[in-house]
């Protein structure tokens, strides 16, 4: 029954009419505070509206029947008519590479969702304990994410499942070590929230790629109810920060919200810092900078699905770090077009993959790595720059350095300065639009 807890749940996401009504056509001046929830069959839609025609939409996956049983469904558009239909999640998983044994872990024999890892009072655990507990608890979900994604895209996806969440948490913690804290407990609390958001931010991919941030937040709330705080009380402020971080880790979402404020320069950075908090900003940066050979899907390397530019860029990336150099936060990317064999964990795949690349079987649209990186990851650079300058007010610049490992030579250095942040980011976007394929 809707009560005080249900109202609290939407305190920061106020209800507005469902898309399609006249009222819903209006653009919200503050999209982070407005959402839509409207039941349709077994699925609930959430919509976050922003300016510039951004429509951030995600179907909810879970519905509770009169007996308190949780049913999971996936919304599938009809191939010809684009009319959505609802498919039981267990059937959807079975058709996308999830084994019967794994499905049995998630569902009972009647198709009721039963996977509920037990983590009581998550905020009482240390940051390292949270990271370890959530990594183990969410393993059955994250273990299936990559197979689902590879089956959805003809060209495959980079890895989002087992290793990526841990990398995001590790990078976020290192960034928070650079951020001043008044007490050890304050620092530990920030790392705890970054651990929760980092481990859970991509779990929604098992249901949907588009809008997976919304679904990830919804799933975490179902799987680990203690993230909401104590029962019978208002929604915990820590959960609000985690939820915003998970939803806005998608660059389109974050940039749509930031643009909707109508602020420029330092005012936008200050608003972003106040909205996302240090732990949220550190997690967003960590997610954006986690690129490299370790994220290339084994299915791509094995030749089971065609390779694309994302695989090429990541396979050639041999080193990736974020560190301060003077008053600049530098994202340093070291790449090697020759793809050294030792870089991959899937050594037996590399020789064949390199042969296909050399013989032109793998289509790449640009002749140099820097252009390829700009072409696919400009949005990552924009998000990382905004969040870095918001997180570290003492940083005067954010830089992206691209270094060719063969001669240890700096090939390109992209600079976003605090004093000219809007113009520099506009220039970065314009440069992407001017790229021409070879």
pLDDT digits (tens, 9 = 90+) for 194-213: 999 999 999 998 888 777 88
Residues 176/194, Cβ–Cβ less than 8 Å: yes
pLDDT band at residue 438 under the 50/70/90 scheme: very low
Residues 119/137, Cβ–Cβ less than 8 Å: yes
Full 3-state SS string of the chain: CCCHHHHHHCCCCEECCCECECHHHCCCCCHHHEEEEEEECCEEEEEEECCCCCEEEEECCEEECCCCCEEEEEEEECCCCCCEEEEEHHHHHHCCCCCHHHHHHHECCCCEECCCCCCCCHHHCCHHHHHHHHHHHCHHHHHHHHHHHHHHCCCCCCCCCCHHHHHHHHHHHHHHHCCCCCCHHHHHHHHHHHHHHHHHCCHHHHCCCCCHHHHHHHHHHHHCHHHHCCCCCCCCHHHHHHHHHHHHCCHHHHHHHHHHCCCCHHHHHHHHHHHHHHHHHHHHHHHHHCCCHHHCCHHHHCCCCCCCHHHHHHHCEEEEEEEEECCEEEEEEEECCCCCHHHCCCCCCHHHHHHHHHCCCCCCCCCCHHHHHHHHHHHHHHHHHHHHHHHCCCCCEEEEEEEECCCCEEEEEEEEEHHHHHHHHHHHHHHHHHCCCC
Which of 281, 274, 140, 119 lies closest to 198 in space, CA to CA? 281
* pLDDT above 70 (res 337): yes
Which of 128, 282, 148, 123 lies closest to 207 in space, CA to CA? 148
Over residues 216-228, the mean pLDDT reads: 91
More confident position, 306 or 325: 325
pLDDT digits (tens, 9 = 90+) for 95-111: 888 999 999 999 998 88
Q: Is 408 exposed, middle or buried (0-12, 13-18, 19+ CB in 10 A)?
A: exposed
* pLDDT above 90 (res 310): no
Say what angle helices 212-223 and 184-200 make with each other, to 10 degrees: 110
Share of the chain above pLDDT 90, in %: 42
Distances (CA, A) of 295 to 252, 350, 400: 21, 14, 20
pLDDT for position 102: 93
pLDDT for position 306: 55
pLDDT for position 63: 80
pLDDT for position 304: 60
Over residues 357-374, the mean pLDDT reads: 76
Which of 42, 43, 41, 37 lies closest to 19 in space, CA to CA? 37
pLDDT band at residue 171 under the 50/70/90 scheme: very high
pLDDT for position 403: 94
Say which residues have a Cβ less than 8 Å from residue 242's Cβ, sequence separation at least 6: 193, 196, 197, 200, 217, 220, 227, 280
More confident position, 13 or 155: 155
Averaged confidence pLDDT in the chain: 79
pLDDT for position 154: 64
pLDDT for position 276: 95
pLDDT for position 339: 73
pLDDT band at residue 8 under the 50/70/90 scheme: very low
pLDDT band at residue 343 under the 50/70/90 scheme: low
pLDDT for position 65: 77
Residues 353/420, Cβ–Cβ less than 8 Å: no
Which of 427, 377, 426 lies closest to 402 in space, CA to CA? 377
Q: Which two tokens stand for residue 406?
A: 């063969």
pLDDT for position 340: 64
pLDDT digits (tens, 9 = 90+) for 57-72: 445 678 877 888 888 8
pLDDT digits (tens, 9 = 90+) for 109-167: 888 999 988 898 999 999 999 999 999 999 999 988 888 887 777 666 777 778 899 99
């Amino acid at each position: 029954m809707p009560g005080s807890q249900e109202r609290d749940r939407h305190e920061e996401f106020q209800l507005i009419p469902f898309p399609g009504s006249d009222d819903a056509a209006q653009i919200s001046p503050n999209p982070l505070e407005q959402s839509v929830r409207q039941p349709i069959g077994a699925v609930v839609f959430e919509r976050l509206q922003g300016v510039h025609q951004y429509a951030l939409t995600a179907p909810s996956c879970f519905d509770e029947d009169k007996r308190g049983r949780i049913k999971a469904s996936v919304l599938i558009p009809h191939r010809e008519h684009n009319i959505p239909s609802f498919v039981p999640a267990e059937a959807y998983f079975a058709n996308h590479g999830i084994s019967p044994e794994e499905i049995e872990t998630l569902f009972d024999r009647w198709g009721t969702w039963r996977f509920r890892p037990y983590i009581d009072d998550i905020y009482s655990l240390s940051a390292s304990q949270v990271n370890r507990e959530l990594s183990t608890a969410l393993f059955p979900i994250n273990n299936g994410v990559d197979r689902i994604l590879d089956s959805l895209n003809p060209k495959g996806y980079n890895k989002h499942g087992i290793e990526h969440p841990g990398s995001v948490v590790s990078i976020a913690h290192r960034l928070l070590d650079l951020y001043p804290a008044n007490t050890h407990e304050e620092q530990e609390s920030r790392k705890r929230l970054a651990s929760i958001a980092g481990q859970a931010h991509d779990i929604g991919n098992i249901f949907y790629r588009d809008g997976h941030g919304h679904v990830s937040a919804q799933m975490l709330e179902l799987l680990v109810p203690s993230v909401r705080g104590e029962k019978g009380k208002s929604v915990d402020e820590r959960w609000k920060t985690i939820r915003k971080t998970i939803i806005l880790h998608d660059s389109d979402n974050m940039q749509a919200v930031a643009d909707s404020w109508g602020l420029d320069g330092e005012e936008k950075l200050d608003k972003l810092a106040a909205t996302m908090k240090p732990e949220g900003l550190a997690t967003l940066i960590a997610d954006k900078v986690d690129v490299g050979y370790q994220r290339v899907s084994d299915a791509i390397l094995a030749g089971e699905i065609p390779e694309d530019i994302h695989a090429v860029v990541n396979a050639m990336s041999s080193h990736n770090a974020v560190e301060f150099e003077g008053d600049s936060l530098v994202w340093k990317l070291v790449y090697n077009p020759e793809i050294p064999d030792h870089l991959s964990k899937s050594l037996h795949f590399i020789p064949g993959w390199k042969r296909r690349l050399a013989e032109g079987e793998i289509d790449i649209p640009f002749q140099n790595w820097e252009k390829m990186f700009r072409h696919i990851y400009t949005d990552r650079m924009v998000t990382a720059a905004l969040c870095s300058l918001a997180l570290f007010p003492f940083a005067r610049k954010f830089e992206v350095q691209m270094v060719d490992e063969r001669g240890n030579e700096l090939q390109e250095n992209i600079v976003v300065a605090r004093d000219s942040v809007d113009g520099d980011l506009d220039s970065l976007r314009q440069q992407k639009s001017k790229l021409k394929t070879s």
